[in-house]
Structure 1
Amino acid sequence: MRLPPLPTVSEIVHLYQLTARKQLAQNFLLDMNLTRKVVRKAGSLNGGFVCEVGPGPGGITRAILSTDAKQVVVVEKDRRFIPGLQLLADACEDRMKIVHGDILQTKMEQIIPETYRVPWEDKPPNVHIIGNLPFNISTPLIVQWLEDMACQSGAWSYGRTKLTLTFQKEVAQRMVAPISSDMRCRLSVMCQYLCDVSIKFEIPGKAFTPAPKVDVGVVHFVPLVKPRINLPFKMVEKVCRHVFHYRQKMIKHSIATLFPVDMPELTAEMFERSDLDPSSRPPELKMRDINRLCNAYNEICQQHSFIFDFDYRSRKHAKLLRRGRNTLTEQLEERILVDLPDSSNHSVEMPAS
């Protein structure tokens, strides 16, 4: 669709004296060739619903409105950008709505029309989330959205909603990092066990205003019909967080942090259940290896309900460990004793006189 004559994005910036705020990690993308390319990488928007995160002065917004997207909602935290965005909303009549708020607090299910809902097993709905994310919220936001995907809640209660987002180049590379890569980390596994994830292209830092010291990657996410690890998100996230805590060391050191120090037997049990080599290193682990570790930890947590809440870094748990050391040990001993043969069956029978 063609928009009516409007001030350029640069003119909007000067008209409303918009400057990027460092504390909000703002960087404007004003080059319309690049904003249109970002939107193209999201796929066909014809007749669809688009939510843009952090539109700022509206560069990507204009590119979205120039497509045949039926409805566009922009979520903007900084009130300074609202007047410029309102010019766009007025120019395209009822196609665009502005939500003033923090995307980390926004309930996505409340802004997506019910008509776009499809079953999870079907093709992704005609719903798209696009955004040039500030660096300071990009990682917490994608982790939050990955959890929504795993729970099929929020925007993912409508089906396998796709994402096209910008990240600092190094973060983008971590998301797609293959096995044995130096970039392989917790975020790699968390993204890849739930999505097909790819870097569509890179944008040099000098293309932004003000220019950051790093380049930017445009990352596309398509949620999988079946996750590669079939366990609750928080279970997978905790195991991955601990596994990659010591990235360059053998995984036996990382796995040990999942359990109280006086229960080393559980670390050994993890490797017995998962059938993995304790001398392996985290970046070498394949998705099926992570899956085995998660399932082994889940089974141990089912046997010892207090284990999942254990945090080796917490002062609270350090105190509890000191006070409850005997209790923890007793629980372990009770489990071991259950597996031992009954001593009453092995009494020595004295000969009759």
Structure 2
Amino acid sequence: MTMPQRSHGLEPLRDTIARHGLDARKALGQHFLLDPGITARIAALAGDLAGQHVVEVGPGPGGLTRALLDTEAAGIIAVEVDPRAVAVITELAAHAPERLQIIEADAMRRDLATLCPAPRQIIANLPYNVGTPLLVGWLRQAHAWSRLTLMFQQEVAERICAAPGSDHYGRLGVLAQWTCRCGVMMHIPPGAFSPPPKVHSAVVGLVPHAEQPDPALFRAMEQVTAAAFGQRRKMLRGALKSIGGEALLAEAGIEGSRRAETLEIADFDRLARLHARRSAAVT
């Protein structure tokens, strides 16, 4: 068995950043996490990585990448769009050529599940400006992942894990909890980053359910939740008018006077299945 390539002996991360002139860029949503104690904790939150293939999105200067190299992961693929950071991770890959691969690409445009064999995980400190769309794309193929350990702005993390009836409950939480078991695992203050963001961050763990919706059903759920939460103050009979309204709600056994934030995940599941069935019948 290939033993983990320890990151001990590497120069301090701040020195690497200075040598490469790697300043965090707002346009890329970059905030670099440099504290090795915190990055080690994030890697540990992903559980036992022995035999797992890990995809890291947006590694930046490689703080979390170094922590992942210290685990038992079978291999790490770092996907980075910033060519400056690619140069840094390429240098790090020379330290562990059998376990670390760098791919210069926009993660929004790549099917990450094709990059490595199962079992596979995503572990990432996501760029703030694309974290939500990236997550929704991965939820569409949740069956491909054994686990996702992702850092977001704290507000986004709260939306992912929000309970029905709470202020943060919405479309993102329904999609995430419908496909995964979700939980906030760690809170990180702004001062842990360089430069410090204006908001706190949080790490969310998502473990996909054993049974996953097929693509048609997932599309139906996206349409139902987009309509239901698109106008939160509307009663459902009005909010869902474009996709069946009263008739759809009656068939699902849901009062049309209710609002989206009062529905449980199971209620949305019934609506999505009915909507998918109706859509298939029309086509």
Give the TM-score normalised by the residue count of structure 2. Answer: 0.92
User: Given the alignment of the two structures, is residue 274 of structure 1 paired with residue 267 of structure 2, yes or no?
Assistant: no
Give the corresponding residue for 2:139: 146
Alignment of 1:19-168 (within 5 A): 19-113=23-117, 116=118, 125=119, 127-149=120-142, 152=143, 156=144, 160-168=145-153
Alignment of 1:184-203 (within 5 A): 184-203=169-188
Give the corresponding residue for 1:340: none
* Segment drifting more, 40-49 vs 191-200: 40-49
Q: Which runs of 5+ in 1 are unaligned?
A: 117-124, 259-265, 306-353
Residues 154-173 of structure 1 show CA distances to partners (whole Å, capped at 9, x for unaligned) of: xx1xxx42111111111110
Q: Residue 268 of structure 1 aligns to which amino acid in structure 2?
A: E
Shift of the 181–229 alpha-carbon distance from structure 1 to 2, 3 Å rule, reads farther
Shift of the 144–230 alpha-carbon distance from structure 1 to 2, 3 Å rule, reads closer
Give the corresponding residue for 1:346: none
Instruction: Tell which structure's C-alpha radius of gyration is larger.
Output: 1
- In 2, Cα distance between the equivalents of 1:182 and 1:220? 21
RMSD between aligned alpha carbons? 1.9
Alignment of 1:226-305 (within 5 A): 226-227=211-212, 232-258=217-243, 266-305=244-283
- In 1, Cα distance between the equivalents of 2:278 and 2:10? 62
User: What is the Cα deviation at residue 228 of structure 1?
Assistant: 8.0
Whether contact under 8 Å (1:4, 1:91) holds in the other structure is no
Number of aligned residue pairs = 279
- In 2, Cα distance between the equivalents of 1:209 and 1:34? 13
SS of the equivalent of 2:11 reads coil
Q: Which runs of 5+ in 2 are unaligned?
A: none
From 154, 179, 192, give the equivalent of 2:164.
Answer: 179
Q: Residue 137 of structure 2 aligns to which amino acid in structure 1?
A: Q
- In 2, Cα distance between the equivalents of 1:297 and 1:48? 37
Give the TM-score normalised by the residue count of structure 1. Answer: 0.75
User: What is the Cα deviation at residue 212 of structure 1?
Assistant: 0.9
User: What is the Cα deviation at residue 243 of structure 1?
Assistant: 0.8
- In 2, Cα distance between the equivalents of 1:105 and 1:248? 35
- In 2, Cα distance between the equivalents of 1:61 and 1:289? 40
How many percent of aligned residue pairs carry the same amino acid? 35
- In 2, Cα distance between the equivalents of 1:139 and 1:15? 32
Residues 241-260 of structure 1 show CA distances to partners (whole Å, capped at 9, x for unaligned) of: 101112233211211133xx
- In 2, Cα distance between the equivalents of 1:208 and 1:174? 22
SS of the equivalent of 1:166 reads strand
Residues 42-94 of structure 1 show CA distances to partners (whole Å, capped at 9, x for unaligned) of: 11112332111111000000101111222111111101012221222111232
User: What is the Cα deviation at residue 269 of structure 1?
Assistant: 1.4
